[in-house]
Amino acid sequence: MGLNYYQIKKNVLKARKLVIKGTTAAGSGHPGGSFSMAEIMGCLFYKHLKYDTKNPEWEDRDKLILSKGHASPGLFSNMAVSGYFEESKMETLRQFGTILQGHPDLKCPGVEFCGGSLGIGLSYSIGNALAAKLDEKDTRIFTVMGDGETDEGQVWEAAMTAAKYKIDNLTVILDRNFIQQDSYTEKIMPLDEHLESDDLSEMWKDASRWKTGDKWRSFGWNVIEVDGHRIEQISNAITRAKSVKGLPTIIIARTIKGKAVEHMEDNPQWHGKAAKPEFVPIIEEELESQFMISPSIIAGDMTHLENEVKRCVDGRADYIHLDVMDGQFVPNTTFDNEKIKELRPLTVIPFDTHLMINEPVRYVKDYIDAGSDIITVHTEVCDESSFGEIHDLLKSSQVGIGLAINPDTELPTWSEKFIPSLDQLIVMSVIPGKSGQTFIESSHEKIRKLTQTLKDKKFEGYIEADGGVTLDNVGACFTDGARAFVGGNAIIGQNDVRVVIREFRNRILRSRRKLLIKKANELGGTDLVNKWIDLHVVGKKKDELLQISQELGYQ
Ligand code: DX5
Ligand code: ZN
C-alpha cells in the first residue's frame, strides 16, 4: 500500500484494538505476541508486502509466513484492516467454523501457512523462496518468527540450508520479545549471554547482552538489528534486506511482549490470555493515548545542527522537529530545505518539518524532496485552494499532512473538509519565531476545546503542542489532549537529552495513568479502579497507580 509513517501508525493502532476485540470475544487467544509484532506487521502490510485482497491467490504476490502462528490475532487484525474481510469478523475469532482460527489456517483466504506448530515456518519459507527462484518470479518471502520457537533444532537446519542456497529473496523477522509461554526466554532456554541479574523483566534493555545476532551471523546470514516498535527502523531494515544479494537476511527486532498496554507489557501472563470485557474500554483508551516526543533542534547550536540531530537520536526522540523560518512569516531565519537534505542521511527518525514561511505552496515540494516525513504549514498563510494543493501533493508523496495555528488563530472554516485526513495539528503555545519562550497558559484551554471539536469532525491525527513545553506542563498538555510534544529549550537546551526525554515520558505516563484510573472509576467505581491497578504486576507501575488513585480520593 505504501502508506506514510503516520498512516502506518494509525493502522497499527486499529489492528491492536481488533486484537483486543477478537481475543476478548473469544475469551482466549494470544494478545502478548500479537502486540510485540504489531509494528512489524504494520510495516509489512502497509508498506512492503505485495498483495491483492481481492485476489489472494495472485501469482505475483509476496508471501507472509507467520511461523509464530499462535499470534494469529495479530495477523488477522491486519488482514481485516487491509480489507481481506470485514473488521467485525474479528469477533468470530476461535469459534467453531470461522475462518479465523486460534492458529492461522489456509481456509482463511490470504493466509499462506498453517502456523502454530512452532519451528517449521522457516523450512516452509525456504521451499517457497526456492520455488519462486525456479519460476523466476520476483516474489519475496517474509517470515515472522518468535524467539521461543528458535529453540527448535529444525530452525537451525533451515538456517544452514538458506545460507547454502543463497536464498536472498527471503527476509526473516525475529520477534525478540524475550518471553516464551509462561516465562522469560533466558530462563527457559537462553538465546543471549548468561544472565547474572535476577531482574529478568529488565534484561531486554541491556543491549550488551544481545547475542542472538551472532548466532545467525555464524550460520551465514545477513543480520540487521532494530527496535521492533519503531516503524522507521523496521521499514528501513526491510528496504535494506531487499537489496542484499547472495545471502538470506534476518531482522532481529527487539520488542516488548504486550507492547502498548502497560499491564501486559513484559508480563508472561499475557502470552495466552484474553482481557476481561470490563477492562476493554480502558485498554482502548490506553491504546489511543500513545504519544510522541519531538525535540526542536533550533534550540541547540545552529552552527552544528548535525550534532543536534545526533543528540536527538542518542536521546531516543520519536521525531525530530525542524523549525523552518523565512524571516518573513516570522522575523527570524533558521534553515531551509537544503539543510534538511544534508541532515537526512544521519538518521531514519521521522523528520517533523514545521514551515513557518510565507506562501508554503510554492516551496512544499522542496521540503518533500529533502526527506521530510511530515510537513506542517500555517493556516495563516493558506486558503482552501492552496492548502488543497499542498494536501494532495503530500498525500501522493506519502508524506504526513500537518496544519498549524498560531496562539491567536482559530481553525478556519475552510480547513474543515481536510480534518479527517490531517495527520497532525500543531497548536502553537508561543508566538512562533524563536525557542525559549514561555508557554501561553490559555493554550491548555485551546487544546482541550480543539480535542473535542476535532474528535467530532473525525480527526485521526495527533495534536502537537509546540512552544514553551517543559517538564512542568507536558503532563497537563497530555491531559488536555495533545499527543505529540515539541521540546526546544526544555530538551535540546539541556545537557543530557536522553535523561530529559525519559523524564518527559515519565511525566506524560503519569498523566496517562491518571486518565485511565479516572476512566476505570467512571465505569465501575473503586472496585474497577482496584482491579485495574492489580493488573499491573511487573515493575513499579503499581506503586504509582496506587499513589495516583489515593490522590484522586479513590482509596
Ligand atoms: C517556535 C517553534 C518551536 C520552538 C520550540 O517558533 O515553532 O518549535 O522553537 O522551542 P521551545 O520549546 O524552546 O519553545
Ligand atoms: Zn515548531
pLDDT given at position 200: 53
Task: For Cα atoms 512, 518, 521, give the angle at the middle one, nearest 5 degrees.
Answer: 145
* Mean pLDDT (whole number) for 71-93: 97
Ligand 1 centroid from CA 381, angstroms: 19
Residue 176 CB contacts under 8 Å (≥ 6 apart), including other chains: 147, 191, 204, 210, 212, 228, 252, 253, 254, 255
Beta strands in 74-159 (DSSP E): 141-146
What is the Å distance from ligand 2's center to 342 Cα? 19
Q: SS3 for 476? A: helix
> What band does 70 get if pLDDT is binned at 50, 70 and 90?
very high
The end-to-end CA distance of the chain, in Å, is 49
Residue 467 C-alpha to ligand 2 middle, in angstroms? Answer: 7
Residue bearing cell 495527520: 423
Q: How far apart are CA 149 and CA 172, in angstroms?
A: 13
Q: How many CA atoms lie within 13 A of 432 on its CB side?
A: 30
Q: How crowded is residue 182: how many other Cβ atoms within 10 Å of its Cβ?
A: 11
- What is the C-alpha separation between 67 and 143, in angstroms, rounded? 7
C-alpha cell at 427: 497548536
CB 457 within 8 A of CB 419: yes
pTM of the model: 0.96
Pocket test for ligand 1, best of 430, 439, 464, 485 (most atoms within 8 A of CB): 430
Supply the residue whose CA is at minimum distance from atom 4 of ligand 1.
435
For every residue of 291-311, DSSP letters joined together read: -EEEEBGGGS-GGGHHHHHHH
Ligand 1 atom closest to residue 325's alpha carbon, by position in its atom list? 6
Tell me the C-alpha distance between 19 and 73, whole Å.
5
d(CA 396, CA 144): 30
Q: Which domains can be identified in the chain, with CATH numbers?
A: 5-269 (3.40.50.970), 292-511 (3.20.20.70), 513-551 (no CATH)
Contact 440, 429 (CB under 8 A): yes
195-238 pLDDT, tens digit per residue, is 555 555 555 566 666 789 999 999 999 999 999 999 999 999 99
Within 13 Å, how many C-alpha atoms sit on residue 176's CB side? 26
Enclosing H/E stretch for 250:
strand 249-254
Ligand 1 atom closest to the Cα of residue 436 is 13
Going 31 to 33 to 38 to 43, the CA torsion angle's sign is negative
Band of pLDDT at residue 3, cut at 50, 70 and 90? confident
pLDDT digits (tens, 9 = 90+) for 350-407: 999 999 999 999 999 999 999 999 999 999 999 999 999 999 999 999 999 999 999 9
Which residues line the pocket of ligand 1, CB cutoff 6 A?
A: 296, 298-299, 321, 323, 354, 430, 432-437, 466-469, 486-490
